[in-house]
Amino acid sequence: MSSVTPDEFIDYLKRSALLAPREIDAASVEIRRAVPKALDDATRLASEFVKRGLLTEWHVRQLLKRKYKGFTLGRYRVLGRLGTGGMSSVYLAEHDITKRREAIKVLPKPKAEGEYLKRFHREAQALASLSSPYIVDGYGADERDGVHFVAMEYFDSLNLRQLVEKLAENGEALPYEDAASYIRQAALGLQHAHERGLVHRDVKPENVLVNERKEVKIIDFGLALFVGSSVTPGSEKRILGTADYLAPEQTVDSHNLDARADLYGLGATLYFCLVGRPPFPNGSVPERLLAHRRKEPTSVFAERLDAWNDLLQICAKLMAKNPDDRFQTAAEVVDATERCLVRHGFATPFDFGRRDADFANLGDGDLGVDVEGLFLSSDAASKLLGADKLDVPDGAEVLSSKRLSADDDTFLKSMGF
C-alpha cells in the first residue's frame, strides 16, 4: 500500500501539469465506474491512469514519491528517463505540438557553467552540422529557467555494451557478421563527421546504438573536436575521452588530433564486440592508458577459435599504435568491412551499390596485417611487464617511473601522477 492516499495522488497529478484538470476528472469518473476499488488505493488508481495511456510508469513512480515538478520542459512533456551520464541525463519526451517523441539531454543547473556548458553547447553545434542515417539527428538546443537541454532523435535501441552483455548473460557471443556490420555502419557515421571537420574523441561501445533491425547510430558528441578551431578551452589540456578506448596519441594530447584517433576507438570497440571486454580491462587508469601505448591486447583467438581472420585484421589495423599504420580514413574501414561481409557470404557487392568487379580476387589476408604479430599475447596482461606499483595518497595505483622509459615518465608526469 502506498503511503500516498488516492486524494493526494490526484492532487499531485493536478500540480504536475501532466494532464489538464478536465482530463483528470474525466478519467477519475471512468475509473470510478469501471474499477471502483481502485479509488481506495493510490497505487492501483495510478495504474489505471497508466492503462489508459494517460501516464507512464515513470510518472507514477515519481508522483507516488510525492514528486510533481519537472515533468515539463519548454514545449516538451517528459515521459521518462533513458539514461544518466557523468555530465547530463537523457529523457524521453513528447513535443506538445508535433507529438513527436524525442530524446532530451538535460544539463543540471549546478553544471550549467564553465567547461560543462561549453561542452554541452559543443554537442549541440556538432549535431546541427551533421545529417547522416548513422548519427542521431539533432533538433535544436534551448534553455528554460536555467535548465539547458538539447533535443535529439529518439532511437529505440541498446548500445553495443548492453547488447554484448545481454548476449553473454545467455552464454552467447555477438556473431561475426553482426560485428562487421555494426562497425561498417559506425564507420559510415564517422566518415560523415570527419568530412565535416569533426573528430568525435569518445568512440566506444556505449556511444554506438543498435536497434532491433540491426541499424546503427552514433551518439554523444559532447567531446567533439572541430578540427582547426582556434578556441581551445583551458581544461582541454587534460586527457579527454574514455581510458578503455583511447588512442595512444590521445593520451598525450586531446586537442591536436585527427580522424585516426576515432578509428582507434572504433577498433577497440570492435575488440569489445568480439570478446566482451575492452582491450586492456585491468589495472588503474594510468596503467590502462600506458597499455594502449605499449601493449597488444590478448588474442581474440584465445577466446574464439573460429574468429574470422580478416575481421581480426581489420581490428588490428584499426588499433595500430602509430596512426600512420592504421586505416587513414573511415571510408577505408567501410570498404574493408564490406569486403569482409561479401567474402563470408553475408552480403553481395550489390547490397552496397557495388559491382562484382569491385570485389574481385577476394583473398584471406588482403589487408596485409600480421594478426599473430599484433595480437600476440595469450593471456590478459593486466600490468605492464616489469612494472612496480606505488601507493599514492588518493588510493590510486600508478606505475613506478624507475622501470619506465623517459618518454613514459614524462607522460605520467603530464597526467599529474
pTM: 0.84
Contact 152, 138 (CB under 8 A): yes
- For residue 180, what pLDDT band results from cuts at 50, 70 and 90? very high
Is residue 236 pLDDT above 80, yes or no? no
Q: Which residues contact 338 (CB under 8 A, 6 or more apart)?
A: 184, 347, 352, 354, 359
More confident residue, 256 or 379: 256
Q: Is 144 a domain residue? A: yes
> Where do we find the cell 533491425?
213
Residues 114 and 230 both lie in one domain:
no
> Tell me, what DSSP letter sits at residue 349?
G
Percent of the chain with pLDDT over 90: 69
Q: How far is CA 71 from the centre of its chain?
A: 25
**Interior angle at CA 49, CA 18 and CA 61, nearest 5:** 70
What is the average pLDDT across 7-18?
A: 96
**Interior angle at CA 179, CA 174 and CA 183, nearest 5:** 150
Question: Helices 42-51 and 6-16 sit at what angle, rounded to 10 degrees?
Answer: 50
Give the count of beta carbons closer than 10 Å to the beta carbon of residue 251. 20
In 3D, which of 189, 203, 287 has the Cα closest to residue 245? 203
Is residue 308 pLDDT above 70, yes or no? yes
- For residue 363, what pLDDT band results from cuts at 50, 70 and 90? low
Is residue 389 pLDDT above 80, yes or no? no
Contact 378, 299 (CB under 8 A): yes
pLDDT tens, position by position, 130-143: 999 999 999 999 99
Residues 185 and 323 both lie in one domain:
yes
Whole-number pLDDT of residue 227: 78
Q: Is 87 a domain residue? A: yes
Residues 38 and 132 both lie in one domain:
no
pLDDT tens, position by position, 139-156: 999 999 889 999 999 999
Q: Is 1 a domain residue? A: no
Q: How far is CA 188 from the centre of its chain?
A: 16
Residues 389 and 311 both lie in one domain:
yes
Which among 153, 177, 200 is the end of a domain?
153
Hey, which residues are catalytic here? 202
Residues 57 and 182 both lie in one domain:
no
Residues 169 and 147 both lie in one domain:
no
Burial letters 35-62, b for 16+ CB under 10 A, else e:
eeebbebbebbbbbbeeeebbbebbbeb
Q: What is the CATH number of the domain that holds 118?
A: 3.30.200.20
Q: Give the domain extent around 127.
A: 72-153
Which among 101, 133, 153 is the end of a domain?
153
- The strand ranges marked E within 98-190 are 101-107, 138-144, 147-153, 158-159
Residues 227 and 350 both lie in one domain:
yes
Q: Is 225 a domain residue? A: yes
CA atoms within 13 A on the CB side of 362: 19
Residues 194 and 78 both lie in one domain:
no
DSSP per-residue codes, 47-107: HHHHHTTSS-HHHHHHHHTT--S-SEETTEEEEEEEEE-SS-EEEEEEETTT--EEEEEEE
Task: For residues 36 and 31, give the distance between their C-alpha atoms in angstroms, rounded to a whole number.
Answer: 7
Task: For residues 48 and 149, give the distance between their C-alpha atoms in angstroms, rounded to a whole number.
Answer: 32
Q: Is 162 a domain residue? A: yes
Residues 141 and 217 both lie in one domain:
no
Q: Is 302 a domain residue? A: yes
Q: Is 104 a domain residue? A: yes
Task: For residues 288 and 383, give the distance between their C-alpha atoms in angstroms, rounded to a whole number.
Answer: 8
Residues 17 and 49 both lie in one domain:
yes
- For residue 28, what pLDDT band results from cuts at 50, 70 and 90? very high
Whole-number pLDDT of residue 242: 85
Q: Is 390 a domain residue? A: yes
Residues 144 and 223 both lie in one domain:
no
Q: What is the CATH number of the domain that holds 295?
A: 1.10.510.10
Domain count, the chain: 3
Residues 98 and 146 both lie in one domain:
yes
In 3D, which of 291, 287, 288, 307 has the Cα closest to residue 299? 307
* Window from 245-254, 298-307, 346-355, 394-403 with minimum mean pLDDT: 394-403
